[in-house]
Amino acid sequence: MSQIIKIASISELHRALGLEKPRHPAISLVKNEDMVWPDEIYNQKYVWEFYTIALKQHDGEIYYGRNHYDFEEGSLIFTSPGQVLESGARPTHKNDSGWSLFFHPDLLLQSDLAAKISSYTFFTYAVHEALHVSEYEKATILRCAESIEAEYNQNIDRHSQTVIVANLELLLNYCNRYYDRQFYTRSNHQQDVVEKVESLLLRYFNSDLAERQGIPSVAHFAEQVNLSPNYLSDLLKKETGKTTQEHIHYRLIERAKHLLLRSDAPVSEIAYQLGFEYPQYFGTLFKKKVGLSPNKFRQLN
């Protein structure tokens, strides 16, 4: 089994890519054409301890979920610290277009963005869930990245960190906006996903799967539709107003109501049928969602 290659800092990354020392220890904008990946990085698993926003140019067809699309402008790919990535073989031709922005979590220390960074869920999307941007959107995002680069290329002063982080947050907010646009423009595909998830949920709770396998996880349904858990939740939230977890709880509670009113089984037995290991957890969730305990709901209906 191959060893996972670890890169802990922006300085280590620059050395690995054959680049000169970074101008800032925690953030760097690099043109793809300037990167010289060493041979050992190919056909390997690797992990780096910083965030990445990378613009990749495509020339024709790309894959998105189980579907493919023609897109000739560009895609933004995001990764977060600690993600295990896997590279393929060295390409036969060099991709000279695009750029990558790398920034370490330490950059965000003592800033409001440190507490908000986890809300940018696209950092945990899969590669095939990339953000596909138009020329205008690409130019807007690049301007933000270049503003960051211009700031760290100056003499660092007490305002540098604030200005860099402010521009980074602006860039991330644009990415949020463009992902919303992408969800909207692909509404037909999203509806297909919504319908499939609903079908899978109904099948799960109307069978004995919950009793045998427990309450299904978000990851379980994400795998069924070939999407990452966060991407699926964001897609469902945009289309239905509810996350995947909320959809799971809704179907679970609907099934619980059916069992409570259609049988005389004890509440604890119904809890086990629904996949709960501990009946008290079922009671807590049911009361939270319905406003009544399971027994009270049964008595009043």
For the stretch 21-44, pLDDT in tens is 999 999 999 998 888 776 666 667
Whether this prediction's pTM lies above 0.85 is answered by no
In sequence order, the 6+-apart residues with CB closer than 8 A to the CB of 29 are 99, 100, 101, 102, 145, 146, 148, 149
Average pLDDT (131-154) is 93
* Percent share of the chain, pLDDT over 70: 88
- The C-alpha angle 141, 142, 148, rounded to 5 degrees, equals 100
Does 2 have pLDDT greater than 70? Answer: no
Mean residue pLDDT across the chain? 86
Rounded Cα distance, 189 and 116, in Å? 29
pLDDT of 180-221, one tens digit each? 988 888 777 788 899 999 999 999 998 889 999 999 999 999
- CA–CA distances in Å: residue 264 to residues 16, 252, 269: 66, 18, 10
- The DSSP call for residue 87 is -
> What does 235-269 look like in DSSP terms, one character per residue?
HHHHHHS--HHHHHHHHHHHHHHHHHHH----HHH
- 244 in Cβ contact with 229 (< 8 Å): yes
Specify the CATH number for 188-300; select among 1.10.1040.50, 1.10.10.1100, 1.10.10.60, 1.10.260.40. Answer: 1.10.10.60
What does the DSSP 8-state code read for residue 84?
Answer: E
**126 vs 123: CA distance, rounded Å:** 9
Contact 271, 282 (CB under 8 A): yes
**Size (the chain), residues:** 301
Q: Where exactly are the structural domains of the chain? A: 5-185, 188-300
pLDDT band at 101 (very low <50, low <70, confident <90, very high): very high
Give the H or E element holding residue 45: strand 45-48
